[in-house]
Structures are given as structure tokens and as C-alpha cells.
Structure 1
């Protein structure tokens, strides 16, 4: 819009024209306009400029509407693509189920896999509340199997705890589950991101909760990181499966979003019916 537009005359007369009262004479000394049509031509010119400016404004307004329409269309398409992408299921990838701690029938048609970190408070809650319900209903009846995979990422000592579990599993699979329970029972939720777990702490934990384990072998395996490759394989499977946190629960290779008991059971029943 032009900023140089002259103000429109009031009451249909050129600006500056004096009102004719009918009897008052023009004061002496006041010059008479050189051209009687000058005021009218100024008014006509002003009207044309006004119409021209209104046309520019209207054209700009239409252009703005077009731009907004295009922008809305583009944003809508982007939103649709994001929704479609987020709705795509997360699939378990590069996972080797042949050498993992397992509950239930490993040959079952329904396979549940948890990726967990022993320092994860949500993993503790899930293991102590959801897993026992699943075990009673599906694992003890051999309708499904459950496997634990390591995904240590919260702190450096998460890896140490994972190595301890793997070392006990290699000794005896039953030892692993006693260790799993003991670690979560002694989890310090105030130190999730702090590295406070030591080799001595884990060895003492095993002595107290897995008394039949070969402590000397366990201590050496933990110190020498004997089963690092097995833990690394779990981590790679988690990364390849694009998990973003723990616990991440998969049923027959598909991740269960928000893995509450109800949601996991629904996924299990769907897998059983397929």
C-alpha cells in the first residue's frame, strides 16, 4: 500500500474548499483559483489513485490466500507422512534367539522378547509387575516363551551388570533368572545415570542370591569380560530394531507400544489367533 496517498476530501469536496454560506463575501486579498476545474480534477485524480491502491490491495490479498493455501497443503502432506511413518510397526531385526535366557516353551508359536537395562526403573517395574502375570498365564502353560536381551545404555555400569548376567547364564540358565531378580530388587533408582556398581558389588550379590554358582569362574568371567560379544550382539539387535528405550517388548517380532499388561496380552492373543 502506498504511503504517499493524499487524504480524501471530506463531504465530497476538495480538501481546503470553504463552505458557501450564501451571503458572506470572499475576504479581500484572497486570490481566486486560476482554474475553476482544478479542485474537481484533484478529486478525480485522488479517486483514481484510491481505486488503483484498492486493486493492488485486493491482488495482494488474493496472493496471500494462495500462498497460505499452498502452505497448508504442504504441511498437511508432511503431517500425513509423519503419521504414516510413526504408525509403522517396529520390527525385531538381527536378533538371535538361539542362545538367550528363556522362560516357557522355546518352541512356542508365541515369542516374547524384552530388551532391558538393569539400571532402568521402568524395567524393574515391568519385570516385577507385568512379567509374573504373563508367566502365570502364558509361560508356565507353555503357550508362549519369554527371552531377555541386554540393552545397557543408561550408564557405564549398565554394561557390567549385563556381563554379570551373561556370565551366569553361560554357567547355568537357571542362575540367570535368580540374578535378574536380585539385581532389580537391589536397584538404586536415585543413581540411574551414575556409575556406582562395581565388580565386587556384583560378586557379593551373586554370592548372596546364587549360592550354587561357581564364584571363582564368575569373578574371572566378569573381570575379563568373557561374554562381551554376546552382550554386543544384543545391543546391535536393539540398534538395528531402532528401539529408543527400555523396556522394549516384542511379540513375534513386532514391538508392543506402551507395553502394559493389557497391551502385551492383546498382542499375545492376536499372535495366537494368527
Structure 2
């Protein structure tokens, strides 16, 4: 693909995302309407507020938000059938403690009850909000995905509580995490982590979140319906079941 073709493709994607943002704003009231005012308050808002969760009763999904689901069978940062009736898009930061809570407490239940049953697909979007170490972790996650080990890397990172912006995601530690995640070609991992392709993928994810108004993590779209924060597992179960019912499952 030529440089001009790549540039045209990126411009087209930006125009599409801008159009989606306008339609989404008209169709979904208060989607991801938190304001970041500093790292301390950011955590409290992300975890405690989630008052933007839509009602769980079945309702027609907004087509512009549904269109954000990539449904790419080769997407290493997704799990579940590409044709699953429900897609949950997750915007997360590897340094976000509430993202870690969701990963440890809720995601295993969703995998067991819905992903394994073919009802749900989860698509990860890198949305680093806590600075350079968050960005490095996001790039490392993408690099892990190039060797089909993204979710193993995800589980290693979230397997323990890590101090934010304290060197946890240094180059040395990222290599150690990659090794623990079962990545065997560490030279390729280093090269992928430092690649422009990784940065392009990160920019695309972050741009998608920004145009939707995502300002804090974790944030989710379940067939186009917003959920903000590490809500109780039951909140996600109700949203998935409502979306499946609307989809005719």
C-alpha cells in the first residue's frame, strides 16, 4: 500500500468517525460524559459514577454506534465469534485500577457465560489516559497481539495491583511481562512495540474514543449502549442479555 493510499485511508476513517460522533450525540444522551480533572479524582469518577449506564431493557440499537464494532476475525485484540449477536467494545488503560478490577472480577464471568456460548464478542481498544507508561503498556499489548498473546499479556498485567507511573512498565519490565505471557520471539516483540504500525493502531483506538466523548476508563459500548466504570458484574450481564434479546437471541 502506498503512502498516499494510507493517508487517504486515514482521512476517510477520520471523516467516518466524525460522522459517527455526530450521529451518536443525537442518539445517545450523555454518552461517556465524565470530565478528567486530575489523576486522583479520575479514579473516583471512573469507579463510582457510572451513572451513564443506559436502562437494561431491550431497545433498538443505534446503528452509528453498532458500526464501531470491527468484527474482524483476525483481530488479536478481540475475543469471541466475529458474528456474535452482541459486541462489547472496551476502552481501557493498563494502569487504570478500575480496568484491573473489571478484568479480574467481571470479564471471567462474561467469558464463561456469554463469549464461550457464542453470544458475546469483546473488542479491546487501547485508551491510555495516565501518561507515557500507559502508552508504553498499550503499545506492548498491541505487540503481544502480533504473536497472538494479547489476552495472556492482558492477564499478566492485570494479575496484580501495580503502582501507577512508578516504572512498572519500563522496557525491562515489559519484556518480563511478555515472557510471562508466553511470547517466545522477544526480538520481534521489541520491534513491534517500537513500530509506527503500533503507534498508528494506538492513535486509531484513542481517536475513536475521543470522538465518542470517552474521558475516563474503563468505558464500554454493549451493542452501542454505554456503560462507564467497573460496574457490578450483574450490570454487564443485564446489558448483554438485553442486547441479545433485541438481536433475536
TM-score using structure 2 length: 0.67
Equivalent of residue 161 in structure 1, options 137, 147, 165: 137
Are 1:88 and 2:29 an aligned pair? yes
Other-structure match for 1:243: 214
Q: Which runs of 5+ in 2 are unaligned?
A: 1-25, 32-61
Other-structure match for 1:207: 179
Other-structure match for 1:106: 82
Q: Secondary structure in 2 aligned to 1:197?
A: coil
The CA deviation at 1:195 is: 5.2
The CA deviation at 1:216 is: 0.8
Find the structure with the greater CA-based Rg. 1
Deviations 1:139-197 (A, max 9, x none): 0111111111100011211000000110111222xx11110000112441xx3254552
Are 1:219 and 2:160 an aligned pair? no
Other-structure match for 2:146: 170
Other-structure match for 1:78: none
* Separation of aligned partners in 1, 2:165 and 2:67: 28
Q: Secondary structure in 2 aligned to 1:115?
A: strand
Other-structure match for 2:108: 132
Other-structure match for 1:24: none
Equivalent of residue 256 in structure 1, options 216, 227, 237: 227
Q: With CA pairs under 8 Å and 6+ residues apart, which has the higher RCO, 1 or 2? A: 2
Q: Give the aligned CA root-mean-square deviation in angstroms.
A: 2.3
Q: Secondary structure in 2 aligned to 1:114?
A: strand
> Given that residues 119 and 187 in structure 1 are in contact (C-alpha distance below 8 angstroms), is that contact kept between their aligned partners in structure 2?
no
The CA deviation at 1:103 is: 1.5
> Given that residues 156 and 195 in structure 1 are in contact (C-alpha distance below 8 angstroms), is that contact kept between their aligned partners in structure 2?
no
> Given that residues 222 and 243 in structure 2 are in contact (C-alpha distance below 8 angstroms), is that contact kept between their aligned partners in structure 1?
yes
